[in-house]
Amino acid sequence: MSLQTISREAIAGCFSLGAVLVAGFYLGRRKSTMSISKSHCGGQADPLMQYLLKHSLREHPVLKKLRERTMEDRWNIMMVACEQSQFMVNLAKLVKAKKVAEIGVYTGYNTLNMALSLPDDGVIVACDISEEYTGIGKPFWKEAGVEQKIDLRLQPAVKTLDDLLAAGEAETFDFIFIDADKTNYDNYYERSLQLVRKGGVIAIDNVLWGGSVLDPKDDDTISIDKLNKKLVRDTRISLSMLPVGDGLTIAIKL
């Protein structure tokens, strides 16, 4: 084989490999094999998820009761995964959180989990618009003996956050969890960034939105994707995006 033939074959080989890699990249972008799931939404059937829960989940008995009650509700897919909630509670402990806000409460599984771990003088401002959903959780908050730590505000969350800012509470929050209507995510993020202190944490749920962020079409997905694209360039924070639950971004205010 002449040197010329070898180099022609090498060049052809490089082109084919390049074509495969480019095709693979684009196909890979469309078809993710990454597994993301909440333990209560199909995930519990996975033996590895069962192992993970068995070897890490420590659920207060009343929290477990609230989870079981929430599973009877037809919108239970909205509940935060218990393993994700425990992770966020641990993060809140790491930053010695005393003042927390949750934007989107539903039946208050995560609200209760946070309240249980806050010190006696701690508070969680719980923002929701639904008396019905939060009404499911309230008796459990009381049973667990932490209802006095939960400041439930039933009105659009943007209004509650604006009220807090108007009351001079900027830079006083240690941890804020964003988990309400997706089209308001940027409004929640900007207000949360004003409300948390330096070193405080903003956790943002559903940032992978069942994988649909790969091909954003509807308003919710477009809004999540837009915020994700903004956050990666935002020099006001450091961040991690985790494949936990439906995707969780942890942003730390610099």
Q: Applying CB under 6 A, does 175 fall inside the site for ligand SAM?
A: no
Shorter beta-carbon distance to ligand SAM: residue 79 or 196:
79
CA 39 – CA 52 distance, rounded (Å): 10
What the block records as the tokens of 217 is 């079409």
User: Which of 88, 105, 115, 248 is close enough to bind ligand SAM by CB under 6 A?
Assistant: 105
Q: Applying CB under 6 A, does 130 fall inside the site for ligand SAM?
A: yes
Which amino acid does the sequence have at 25? F
Under rule CB under 6 A, which residues in 49-78 are in contact with ligand SAM? 78
Query: Helix, strand, or coil here: 75?
Result: coil
Under rule CB under 6 A, which residues in 191-210 are in contact with ligand SAM? none
Q: How far is the CB of 132 from ligand SAM (least distance, A)?
A: 9
- C-alpha pair distances (Å), 225 with each of 43, 203, 211, 231: 24, 16, 11, 10
CA 196 – CA 176 distance, rounded (Å): 7
CA angle 43, 48, 49 (to 5 degrees): 35
Q: Applying CB under 6 A, does 117 fall inside the site for ligand SAM?
A: no
Shorter beta-carbon distance to ligand SAM: residue 53 or 78:
78
Shorter beta-carbon distance to ligand SAM: residue 29 or 97:
97
Q: Applying CB under 6 A, does 140 fall inside the site for ligand SAM?
A: no
Q: Applying CB under 6 A, does 152 fall inside the site for ligand SAM?
A: no
**For residue 211, what are the contacts with CB-CB under 8 A and spacing of at least 6?**
32, 34, 36
Binding site for ligand SAM (CB under 6 A): 78-80, 102, 104-106, 109-110, 127-130, 133, 156-157, 179-181, 184
